[in-house]
Amino acid sequence: MAQPAQPAQPAPQPDFVRMHHGLAQFCQEIQFLPNWNAGAGGIPAMQVVFQQIMDTQAAMQANITAMQADLQLHPVRMFNATASVTADLIYPPHVPEGARPFLPRTKEQAIRLSGEDAARCSALIGLPALASEATALQHRCQFLNYLGVQIDTN
């Protein structure tokens, strides 16, 4: 009798932080190689290339971190987008429990927020502040869009 197929294991992810530290160490150590005078002109060029690699790697790590944070919001947004207007909203895990009593409980309450209240709620969940001339609708949209709640802006 054939064995059931094993579920595919996720591919291991590269450890960009360790790669960054290794490249940084390499760039520091390369200058101590003895008597590389013949090839000394190439060392600064190599250091520039390695620095570019490290900068690219750091940018990639920042992008991956941002994507992971965005992916963690998908279940929250999907629930809130499909919930009825009287259903309780769910908030991302990073929102402190102490802030939750000051946030709207239902989708209907969130949709009815004033601009000032929406700006306060946005700050409580860690969203960046909008410009001082932002309208009430812009503040409300920022808060609601982050949670996955769509409103008609017409």
pLDDT, tens digit, for every residue of 87-117?
999 999 889 889 989 999 999 999 999 999 9
End-to-end CA distance of the chain: give it in Å, rounded. 63
Which tokens in the block code for residue 62?
């920042």
Segment 16-22 mean pLDDT: 80
For residue 86, the Cα-to-chain-centroid distance in whole angstroms is 29
| Residue 67 or 4, more confident | 67
d(Cα 38, Cα 35) in Å, to the nearest integer?
A: 8
- The confidence band for 152, taking pLDDT boundaries of 50, 70 and 90, is confident
pLDDT, tens digit, for every residue of 44-90?
878 888 899 999 999 999 999 999 988 989 999 999 999 999 999 99
Which of 7-16, 17-26, 46-55, 94-103 has the weakest average pLDDT?
Answer: 7-16
- The confidence band for 29, taking pLDDT boundaries of 50, 70 and 90, is confident
